[in-house]
Amino acid sequence: MNQLIAGNWKMNGLSSDLTEIETIAEIVATSAPQAQILICPPFTLVARASQTAAGRIAIGSQDCHPGICGAFTGDISAEMLRDSGASAVIVGHSERRQMHGETNADVCAKARAAWRAGLLAIICIGETEEERASGSHLDVCQDQLSGSIPAGANAQSTVIAYEPVWAIGTGKTPASQEISAMHAHIRHCLTGRFGSEGASIRILYGGSVNRGNAKEILALPDVGGALVGGASLKAVDFHAIFSAATVPPS
């Protein structure tokens, strides 16, 4: 499966920023990159972003409620996202886990909601700086994986994003060997639970990916793409990152 380069715009983006999506969509239409390209703008731009993208790149969202509809003021269901043109949703981002108290069980319910609506679930996991310093990072990520991924996951429905919390928005990235070791561990957990399906679920790396480090990170074994925050906001930077995607072995 091709690498997936996903942009997470977080709480950034006004109507005027749709030009960045227009530019990326044009680049993709003319250059046909190896990677699959996805941008997840804020809720307010999903419908217009998907019109702008016109199928040339995929548009996703950054969170969803586990329910279909009902009295949940301020929440958005996976079905609403699908209806707005989204084809994917990020769930369990560390900012949601930390600032909104989301548990593994919450994340699991949201991933199930994504599947129910026909969306790709991008399930995020990752350790804090303290957890890495104490040497518990592998166990922490294993627990997040087992609690956050619903039964029945497969490569069509699910992507895992490994994002060390300490690398997000800090400009710090793990050493290549550290990324490789964690991705190998995640792969081991996925195949242990899902068998051959687990072997093909893509594992993205996220956390301070930029035009300078993308090539090295995307060339690592078991790195199935990247989840990019700050460097996805401008087409010129995002283009440099997705141009560095590698062709998967056939």
Let me know if 130 is a catalytic residue: no
What part of residues 8-47 is at the interface with ligand PGA (CB under 6 A)?
8
Structure tokens at 166: 């300490």
Closest of 45, 44, 2, 49 to residue 21, by C-alpha: 49
Instruction: Specify whether the CB–CB gap between 147 and 185 falls below 8 A.
Output: no
Nearer to ligand PGA, 145 or 204 (CB): 204
What part of residues 166-185 is at the interface with ligand PGA (CB under 6 A)?
168-169
Q: Choosing from 20, 102, 131, 163, which is the catalytic residue?
A: 163
Instruction: Specify whether the CB–CB gap between 109 and 148 falls below 8 A.
Output: no
- Which residues make Cβ contacts (< 8 Å) with residue 212, sequence separation at least 6? none
Applying CB under 6 A, the span of 45-53, 72-80, 221-229, 237-245 interacting with ligand PGA comes to: 221-229
Nearer to ligand PGA, 58 or 194 (CB): 58
Say which amino acid occupies 167. A
Say which amino acid occupies 149. I
Instruction: Specify whether the CB–CB gap between 203 and 224 falls below 8 A.
Output: yes
d(CA 162, CA 141): 8
63 binds ligand PGA (CB under 6 A): no
152 binds ligand PGA (CB under 6 A): no
92 binds ligand PGA (CB under 6 A): no
Applying CB under 6 A, the span of 21-29, 78-86, 127-135, 207-215 interacting with ligand PGA comes to: 207-215
Say which amino acid occupies 248. P
d(CA 121, CA 33): 23
229 binds ligand PGA (CB under 6 A): yes
Q: How many residues bind ligand PGA (CB under 6 A)?
A: 13
State in angstroms the smallest separation of the CB of 30 from ligand PGA: 26
209 binds ligand PGA (CB under 6 A): yes
Nearer to ligand PGA, 157 or 208 (CB): 208
- The continuous run of DSSP H or E covering 114 comes out as helix 104-116
Instruction: Specify whether the CB–CB gap between 228 and 9 falls below 8 A.
Output: no
208 binds ligand PGA (CB under 6 A): yes
Q: Choosing from 93, 137, 183, 239, which is the catalytic residue?
A: 93
For Cα atoms 214, 188, 143, give the angle at the middle one, nearest 5 degrees.
90
Interacting residues with ligand PGA (CB under 6 A): 8, 163, 168-169, 206-209, 227-231
Catalytic residues, by residue number, are: 93, 163
